[in-house]
Chains A and B, each alone.
Chain A
Amino acid sequence: MRSALNRAVRGVRWYVRELTDESAYDRYAAYLRENRPGAEVPSRREFERMRTDRQEADPRQGFRCC
């Protein structure tokens, strides 16, 4: 019972983090560590700035419909 509840809470937390893209940084860091072992992993602050800069440069990214 308890573990089922735990699983449900973890599931919701995972889904919300993924849906809001809060997990974007962790994903990027994991990606860099795995695929470019030499590359420096940016701090979360730098990463989030880079992300909004990219959206700035091409507003079609993440465009929403009417």
Chain B
Amino acid sequence: MRTDSPLKASPRTIVIWTLVALVSAAGWSVLALSRGEEVSAAWMVAAALGSYAIAYRFYAKFIAHKVLKVDGTRATPAERLNNGIDFHPTDRRVLLGHHFAAIAGAGPLVGPVLAAQMGYLPGTIWIIVGVIFAGAVQDMVVLFFSTRRDGRSLGQMAREEIGPFGGAAALLAAFAIMIVLLGVLALVVVNALAQSPWGTFSIAMTVPIALLMGFYLRVLRPGRVAEVSLIGVALLLFALIAGRWVAESSWAGTFTLAPSTLVVWLVAYGFIASILPVWMLLAPRDYLSTFMKIGTIVLLALGVVIALPTLRMDGVTDFASQGDGPVFAGSLFPFVFITIACGALSGFHSLISSGTTPKMIQKETQVRVIGYGSMLMESSVAVMALIAASVIDPGLYFAMNAPAGVIGDTVQNASQVVGGWGYRISPEDLAAAAKNVEESSLLSRTGGAPTLAVGVSEIFSQVTGGGLRAFWYHFAIMFEALFILTALDAGTRVGRFMLQDTLGNLYKPFRDVSWKPGLVITSGIVCGLWGYFLWVGVHEPLGGINQLFPVFGISNQLLAAVALAVCTTLLVKSGRLRWAWVTGIPLLWDATVTLTASWQKVFSSDPRVGFFEQRSVYQDGIDRGEVIAPAKNMDDMHTIVTNSTVDGVLTAVLALLIVIVIADATRVCVRHVRRPALSSLSEAPYVESRIVAPAGLIPTGQEKKEARDAVGAEPRG
């Protein structure tokens, strides 16, 4: 591929990149060709890192210079609108950290774990190929266009560039997606903490710790974030250790909570936290979870590289083709591609790329390192999660991730059912696995977090010795639950903000975000909505994750379709028609995958997949007065009928909204191609930049020289 460099590639460069390509190719070959034997995770790491390096060096560079034509002389919003607070030019290395911390959360850790039911290979391919050609491209292009528009949000861009109709559909979709997201994330927490006094205690302790930190920052020493975060993390680790004592003491009963009790606690937490001032809980929790997130990801990366564990899961399982997997139903296409969202392609990132980051970026040329680069980093987190899920015994994996309705609630029964799928694990081994991490049971701990935690404890204890296994398990649980709880609070606030804005059209005072009654009402509505899905998920006889995760995956990927549609429209309208395929092809792929999945979830005649078929099967059962397993009684039967109807309608509505957005975007593109004069482009006018800053992480010789010249020319003051 041609690059922009005026010089021909030096022999050294050619040798280096040939080596990178060879290492990566070797990794891919081993992963793809080995059948039946155990493969070292080192090959997966090699395949991933090699592919990322090549993609970053060649494809991202091509997009930046040929497609977007990033202009280093053009001032960014951070420079033009600098107000010292939210608009200010930020060092690229700092912004990379900010952006990465903002995009990476529970998503890349949960999806790959669930997708491992089809084997590690489909997930690996999608995570790596998906990020290179779709996810990272989306993040970078959205960031670029938002930077050219003073940091406009995705919703605003959709309204301005596509039209009010498409814009409204995009906004409604974003709200629905937020609700489903919060419901499913909360469900992950409930499944991880239910019947676990150790986990519940340490998570409960995060609330007083955060309050203390909030008080410290507000009253004692305002703004000293680093020191208060250190104190917080130390207290957090202490709470984690204390969790074991509590679990072994007479208090254990108090913190052993049933799933339905946890639901009430979580909804109450979400509601109260979201109406408290930001400084009390949200801000300090955010510092804590960011610290823990970055720390744990670094630890996990070190653990994987040092231990280089062996993958015990099959490359491709039979569930991939038969579509009858216990974790989620449906075959490889399209369901792997919606189950793994974050890490490969995540619509939510477009909200960050068109939110805070474009207001802080120093140079247009840095969209490559910030947008594309940090998405590659998130993708590597997803690869690590997949490794963690694949190093545990496959029998244990399926016993942990199959709904209770399928495998029953005894280790004997579970061992038998899992054995029937071809994965041998004895009841004693299942019981021992739970005992090793000091949990009463690991059966049907669906949602991904407990499985990841077992995988993480396996990898870490290969480094630190088996004595710390239970500690690492609860460390991983605490780390995931910590930022999911923060996300519940922050997400409720964002949902509330959208609702306040909409209700403000009907009744003016709602628009005033500090109007207390409005605040309480809208917070209550948002919590009620996601709380409904949480409640349903916990009581779903068919398994909450099994039923709801596909809806979550579909909604996240539909948001990506909106973002990619906006990007493609902008490429067309800004005279880059010949490059429109750069986001157009990912859009086509994403729309195909997601709409196929929606179609199957709505219309499939397989009751495990299609919501309405499911509904009619159980409704017929009710009419005949017959109870169909896994329902245990008529109440369960009615629950299934109601839930299937809600899920089916929701999926259909989401799909319809996105079809509207894509159709509207296509209309605008076609009109522009036919009569360019009719379309308007709301790009901020060119202003020359006076900042000198490198484009990539490591400055080139040329950039260093420019920096020296700039310092020399500037009057000292």
A and B form one complex: yes
Chain A residues close to B by CB (< 8 Å)? 15-22, 24-25, 27-28, 30-32, 35, 44-45, 47-49, 51-52, 54-66
Closest chain B CB from A4 CB (angstroms): 18
Docked pose: A24 CA to B101 CA in angstroms: 18
Chain B, residues 402-414, CB within 8 Å of chain A (1/0): the string is 0000000000000
Closest chain A CB from B158 CB (angstroms): 15
Query: Does B451 interact with chain A (Cβ within 8 Å)?
Result: no
**Considering only CB atoms, which chain B residue lies closest to A16 in the complex?**
B226
> Which stretch, B128-136, B189-197, B485-493, touches the partner chain A?
B485-493
Docked pose: A32 CA to B499 CA in angstroms: 35
> Which stretch, B117-125, B233-241, B278-286, B440-448, touches the partner chain A?
B278-286
The 9 A-B pairs at the shortest CB distance, nearest first, are namely A31-B84, A59-B493, A20-B225, A66-B107, A48-B222, A18-B94, A28-B84, A52-B279, A65-B348
B86 and A54 within 8 A (CB): yes
Residues 77 to 122 of chain B near chain A (Cβ within 8 Å): 82-86, 88, 90-91, 93-94, 97-98, 101-107
Query: Does B351 interact with chain A (Cβ within 8 Å)?
Result: yes
Q: B103, B185, B278, B348: which contacts A56 (Cβ < 8 A)?
A: B278
Chain B residues contacting A45 (CB-CB under 8 Å) are 222
Docked pose: A61 CA to B352 CA in angstroms: 9
Closest chain B CB from A18 CB (angstroms): 4
Chain B residues close to A by CB (< 8 Å)? 82-86, 88, 90-91, 93-94, 97-98, 101-107, 153, 181, 185, 217-218, 222-226, 229, 277-279, 282-283, 286-287, 342, 346, 348-349, 351-352, 355-356, 483, 486-487, 490, 493-494, 496-497, 513-514, 556
**Considering only CB atoms, which chain A residue lies closest to B227 in the complex?**
A22
**Considering only CB atoms, which chain A residue lies closest to B289 in the complex?**
A64
Known: A18-B94, A58-B497. A64 touches B222 (CB 8 A): no
A66 and B497 within 8 A (CB): no
A55 and B278 within 8 A (CB): yes
Docked pose: A51 CA to B224 CA in angstroms: 14
Docked pose: A54 CA to B181 CA in angstroms: 25
Docked pose: A30 CA to B229 CA in angstroms: 25
Closest chain B CB from A50 CB (angstroms): 8
Q: Is the interface of B mostly helix, strand, loop or mixed?
A: helix
A51 and B85 within 8 A (CB): yes
B490 and A63 within 8 A (CB): yes
Q: B223, B346, B483, B496: which contacts A59 (Cβ < 8 A)?
A: B496
B348 and A66 within 8 A (CB): yes
A27 and B88 within 8 A (CB): yes
**Considering only CB atoms, which chain A residue lies closest to B97 in the complex?**
A19
Chain B residues contacting A19 (CB-CB under 8 Å) are 94, 97-98, 101
Docked pose: A22 CA to B346 CA in angstroms: 30
Among the interface residues A25, A27, A54, A55, which one has the most CB atoms of the partner chain B within 10 A? A55
**Considering only CB atoms, which chain A residue lies closest to B556 in the complex?**
A66
B286 and A64 within 8 A (CB): yes
Among the interface residues A19, A31, A61, which one has the most CB atoms of the partner chain B within 10 A? A19
Question: What are 28 A-B interface contacts by the 8 Å CB criterion?
Answer: A15-B94, A15-B97, A19-B97, A21-B225, A27-B84, A31-B82, A31-B88, A44-B222, A45-B222, A47-B223, A48-B218, A48-B222, A49-B222, A49-B279, A58-B513, A59-B278, A59-B490, A60-B351, A61-B355, A61-B356, A63-B355, A63-B494, A64-B352, A65-B342, A66-B106, A66-B107, A66-B487, A66-B556
Chain A residues contacting B282 (CB-CB under 8 Å) are 55
